[in-house]
Chain A
Amino acid sequence: MKAQNKSKLAGLIVLASMFIALSSCKKSFLDLRPYTSVSSDVAITNESDMQAALNGAYGNMNSVNLYGRTTPLFGDLVSDNVYISTINSNRYLDFFQINYTVTDANGQGIWQSAYSTILRANNVINSSLQGNENVNQLRGEALAIRGLMYFELVKFFAKPYAVDPNALGVPLILAYDPTIKPQRNTVQEVYAQIEKDFTDAANLMTQDKSSGFFTKWAAKALLARMYQFKGEWDKALTTAEDVINNSGYSLLGLNDVLSFWQNNTDRDDKLEVLFEIVFDATNNIGNSSLPYFFDQSGYGDALAAESLYDLYSNTDVRKDLFIVGSAIRGADVKVINKFPNTGSADKDEMKVIRMSEVYFIAAEAAYHQNDETKALTYLNDVATERDPGFAGYSSAGQALLDDILLERRKELAFEGHRYWDLVRNNLDVTRVDLANDYPGNVPLVLETTNFRRILPIPQGELDANPNIREQQNSGY
């Protein structure tokens, strides 16, 4: 019996020590934190955090949905610059066939990626950091990014300002609020916000940076583009001329054209490009990029329209930005070689705005301000620097406007501008001679009256947001 008592005692000691040991387990045992992230409330607490968060906003614009591929491609594919080869990976056929619906993933992609970029920009803009030059610069860059995203959104999802400024635009979201279920603002309201963002951005930014980041002048150049879309030609002209005369950025000259397009890094020399999205060896989208979509060693689905190629004279240096013939798609097809670095680790940057476009904006604005001489000057400043055999335009009236649009088409091809030139001028898209042997099934005209001139509000938004359901673009 004695032994038994002892063993009872022993048992109790064992149990007691066990429970003491275990209950002393620290509370932190259950507080496990992720390895590659921090809590959002402490994410932006100093300047370097702010820079990192801003870089996150820049980095989002290299999405396949934005400048990575979809937005620039749309501008050339839903117009007359580019077509999809019969041998294709089935990408963007609904764009090419002008047959997109509310469930189109590319359309939803633009919407989603633009707004997630806006979220990232908003967090930087609204961060509590205040005051000094650096903080102002970073906040200014974020404002410019936000302005740019709203500009893209209002282009794709709303009627052109010139057609109806009171039409439904896109919802304006200016602060972090995951629960928001917004209605659409009007086109006019969205444009007002874009103007404010670009203006504020230009006022806040004071630093020189490489072309991979926003600067005061890039924001002003985009502001000029916005006035052009609005048709506020006086402001478009003064803003564009401000950039041309005061920015210190130089126009791309004839001898630099080929090396300019071969270059795959951002620039510090203020040559031509005001802002571009950087795709470097670490941060790029590989096979999902637009250049890979053109490259015949890549997908190679998209080829240049014959009619576009024929616009360049034989002395035009830009003709060297094409390769004639593809091993897969035939000896005559015109392959786009404007972005030749798909095989390199460091990929091509995608241009957002460059000086040549600013000159065109100035030319077009001057034309509408009835200063045709000035218009011709700005137009020829670019045109004669591309073709040594070309003496320059000398047209007048409507012909001059047509020449400006023609030169825009040639200079800005494959950078996503063509469709918007037609849309903001309320012109039909007319496809002429895309390729010699292209079989049917592709509409040759997209009239101004067609509801597919703009994209539908995507299904994902309609599903999540009851307040926008009744505001779908008509026709969808």
Chain B
Amino acid sequence: MKKFIFLVTSVFSLLFAAGQNRTITGKVTDDKGSPLANASVIVKGTNVGTSTSADGSFSLSVPPNASTIVASYVGLGDQEISLTGATSYTINLSSAAGTMNEVVVVAYGTQQRRKVTGAISKVSGSEVENVPMTSVDRMLQGKVAGLQSVSPTGQPGSIQQIRIRGIGSISSSSAPLWVIDGVPVNSGDFSGATNSSNLLAGLNPNDIESISVLKDAASASIYGSRAANGVILVTTKKGKAGKTKIRVDGEFGTNDIAFFPDLAKPLNKDEFKQLTTEGVLHVGGTQADVDAILDQFGYNTTANYNWLDLVQRKGQQQQLNVSASGGDAKTQFFLSGGYFKQISEIIGSDFKRYSGNASLRHQAGKRLSFGANLNLSTFHQEGESESANFRNPVIAALALLPTQEAYNADGTPNYDPTVFSQIYNPIAIRQYDRLSNQTSKLLGSAFAEFNILDNLKFTSRYGVDYSTIEEYNYFNPFFGDFSSNDPSTTGLFYTRYNRLFNWVWTNLADYGFHAWQDRLSGHVTAGYEAQKSMQLTEDATGTGLPLTTSIIYPSPVTPQTPTYDGSDYAFTSLLSKADISFLNRYTLSGSIRRDGSSRFGSDNRYGTFWSVGGAWNVDQENFMQNINLISLLKLRASYGVNGNAEIGNYAWRTIYSFKGTYNGLPASFPQTIAPGVTTDVVYNDNGTVGNADLTWEQNEPLDIGIEVGILKNRITVEADYYNRKTDHLLLAEPLSLTSGFPSFSNNIGAMVNKGLELTIDATAIKTKDITWTISVNGAWNKNEVTHLREGQTEIINLPYIIRVGEDVQSIYTRLWAGADPQTGDPQWYKDDTKKEKTNDFSQVTRSIIGSASPKGFGGLNTTFTYKFLSLDAQFNYQYGNYIYDQWGFLYTGDGGFASLNHNRKELQRWQNPGDITDVPRYDFFNATNSNAVSTRYFYKGDYIRLRNLALRFEMPSSVLKRLMLTRLSFYVRGTNLWTKTFDKNITMDPEQGINGTNDLQFFIPKSFTAGVNIEL
């Protein structure tokens, strides 16, 4: 059927390509009079238009009744020209015309900013070019008000967590929908065997033309059941008519740890010995016991290592991007190739990406155009599993004793099991084991646009988002968890292949109209979209490996049964949006979408989502024309309903799994909960008890915004108030465990996110030689859980609690009161009145002490340019949250885990009566519960970080001419150079994942890079 429609489209386009119109010509220039290539010129209210050629000239056949043409250029805005009898026009597009004429990418199209009724933030491609980060989501940090972007780990190529306008879900995903060139893509982490891996890391940020962040109902609801957590539209670079441009960008540099406080570093040999001695004596041991134990711990050897140093190395950073673009009025192309490499400062953690992008567009006659974008990439990621596990070199380095001999006499890593009995030598693991992930991605679409009438356009786009994730684990046969004395079972080799094939077919009809001498104009878009994503997973395992590590794919003595699984979802949608503007002052918009999805329970399969919005460009009113101070004033508001469909592909079904065997026979069982999933997290592809009513989570966002420009827009302010009511939140209703099920998923919760967003852009200085711009943004969100299931007021998921009336990430723990000055015993406050201390653990109650969500966060960007030099700085900040040292119970465990090393904070322990300290007595195999979770392991998460500092030199045009170049610039850049924290006891980097829990994953890097940009 698809082929048929394309055929019909093509045939009709050929038949009706000719028209009987008059022809006008002209030229489009910028405010300096330089010609603008590829500016668009259209007949107002229609889709009849063309692009300017390299010299800025255009020729356009206009219908006899046309009265106005509109010229526009991305980034410069547009201008309307009334047609007279003349046949030639010169159109001057100036940036001073104001940001309001700028054209922005919106859902299913583009729109003049003046007519936008929703809250859309734009990030231009140049802001994400040549940044030493593996994926574009990491670069959005601090750039968009209300968009929180944090890294739970510094592993290159790993996931980034993004929340727009707060956390919108309790147990489903709160991540936004990514739409790349019109294709809603699979994003997130699909790795299963190795590291966290980010599918978006396959997209080279240097191939991005612009990013639009859709934050409210008017802008996002057209994405229906997937819009609730915001939508990020990415548009990749396209060719522009004119002289062929060739561009080369290259950089290289180093990586190091951004921030790791001394208190968190391991004890040295003598310190550990001292603590152990104290600890054994405290629990009634004798000096002889101490000696025996230290002997067992290896203190009779001469070894003395700082393991944290041993697992580090000099990190490297490198990227090279080459592109060519150009074309003529009919055909435009863009081609690029990219190489990116990040070698982390932690041993064995690397990322390499090769990417290519091709885009072609051709205008065949007046009414038909077609084209394709193709983005191909492959990345290779290497690194230890970071999960809470002693294979993680960071976790191991903090736990190994300085006396454990790291190397053999010949310099090879030591893996003697009598020395590394509990935790393997991370250096040996690095040398003998391999964990890697090769992800390859094809992201592409082909489209045809057919102007059926001058003002009626039909577009059909077929997009594909195809990824394969090949993971490879090799556990050596000599030592470690998978080695054994039996040659048939020693070592383990494991591969996992994951394929995601996601296609989307979108058909849109777009009708533009205008009336009353253009005083009234508008657009209606209607269409149909179908999408299906199919995932296949294959696992193969074998043990009994040959006693060599040089075979990549060993032939195992004992192959284990390979397993296969799949997970699919599909959407079908009818969608429509419309806007109508009057006198350029008043715009009303509306959208509606009906989504059906395989994810929704059989009793609730279709849902309708809608929005309404309005904008009033006050500055266009007659009464404003004499107020010179205010150059821009726009008010807008929107309201609507959208949804969150990330509820698990099969979660609503009641199913019996056949994924098991017993005694060589097939076994089946009611799927209770996916392995490794805790009862409070119901994001579970495999279903639980099932629920035929299970459906999307519903979000009702209200947004009121104001945009003000003063002093000819030298200062612009954009402020938004939003109130996002979310209900039908999926929650695990805990079931009595006696039923055999821990919980089932149900649409029962509700919460509200309210907040303010503010962005101020100012040009502080603008002279011939000096330009200084400052841009500040901030967002203040308040989350409140308003409903859980009937009769339930809280869900405890220690150390967090979800309680009605409180923030969804509230921390619920015991209040620590430090060491008893007389005995060194741990003390807690009995309750949050803090009136009474106790050392009886059973008397201590928990209370809410704060939230893991920040009260406020944002960024500050400033650029200072003097002649050929420019200095660019970006700061990020966050405050009002608490972060949790999840490993404190061990590394500051007061003698719990006595055979493992502790951190330097433990040195602050109580030693003598009268000591006032936060750290209690060190007891060998501590049985005082002092290391149970309490406020002692929570820290203030406030920080300011210098995210980016770059100094750039632009070669002046006089020199460029001699070199026959369009541009030549050099830069040096530092990323995460400086971090300011506000809690002196902090034991970790303050930048943690959304839930603020430090899992000792790899460090966020500090990078120094130097680079060059050349344009021919």
Contact = CB atoms under 8 A, between A and B. Distances in A.
Interface stretch (B68-76, B187-195, B650-658, B1008-1016): B650-658
A22 B285 CA distance: 80
B955 to A, nearest CB: 52
Contacts of B8: 13-14, 17
Interface residues of A, number: 102
A18 B293 CA distance: 80
Contacts of A391: none
Contacts of B509: 15
A223 to B, nearest CB: 23
Contact of B18 (A3, A123, A266): A3
Nearest to B897: A90
B12 interface: yes
Interface in B446-491: 450, 452-453, 456, 458, 460, 481, 483-486, 488-490
A424 to B, nearest CB: 24
A212 B484 contact: no
Contacts, number: 300
Given A18-B528, A280-B664, A345 B488 contact: yes
Interface centre among B740, B798, B898, B899 (most CB of A within 10 A): B740
A437 B292 contact: yes
B418 A22 contact: no
Contact of B737 (A51, A111, A439, A440): A111
Given A15-B509, A115-B737, A115-B738, A55 B12 contact: no
Nearest to B798: A103
A283 B660 contact: yes
Interface in B650-691: 650, 653-672, 679, 685-687, 689-690
Contacts of B923: 441
A37 B655 contact: yes
Contacts of A117: 740
A40 B654 contact: yes
A343 B154 CA distance: 36
Given A36-B657, A43-B656, A458-B737, A343 B663 contact: no
B669 A212 contact: no
Given A43-B656, A97-B927, A463 B796 contact: yes
A56 B418 contact: no
Contact of B670 (A4, A40, A297, A460): A40
Contacts of A112: 737, 742
B664 A282 contact: yes
Interface stretch (B223-231, B565-573, B694-702, B749-757): B565-573
B507 A119 contact: no
B391 to A, nearest CB: 13
A122 B739 CA distance: 10
A344 B489 contact: yes
A21 B2 CA distance: 8
Nearest to A87: B899
Contacts of A116: 672, 737, 740-741
A17 B663 CA distance: 57
A278 interface: yes
B734 interface: yes
A224 B915 CA distance: 61
Interface string A427-446: 00000000001011100000
A99 B929 CA distance: 10
B1 interface: yes
A226 B605 CA distance: 52
Contacts of A22: 507, 528, 530
Interface string B6-19: 00110010011011
A57 interface: yes
A102 B358 CA distance: 61
Contacts of B421: 87, 300, 328
A475 to B, nearest CB: 10
A53 B560 contact: no
A30 B656 contact: no
B530 A119 contact: no
A181 B564 contact: no
A10 B15 contact: yes
A398 B414 CA distance: 57
A420 interface: no
B481 A460 contact: no
Nearest to B741: A178
Nearest to B657: A37
Contacts of B798: 103
A10 B12 contact: yes
Contacts of A122: 740
B561 A282 contact: yes
Given A43-B670, A173-B740, A297-B417, 9 more contacts: A6-B15, A13-B8, A25-B530, A32-B569, A33-B650, A51-B665, A112-B737, A213-B663, A441-B923
27 contacts: A4-B453, A10-B15, A10-B16, A11-B456, A15-B509, A17-B4, A21-B4, A29-B572, A32-B570, A40-B670, A56-B668, A59-B662, A62-B662, A86-B899, A87-B422, A116-B737, A118-B738, A120-B669, A171-B736, A178-B735, A280-B664, A282-B560, A300-B421, A328-B421, A343-B490, A345-B544, A464-B735
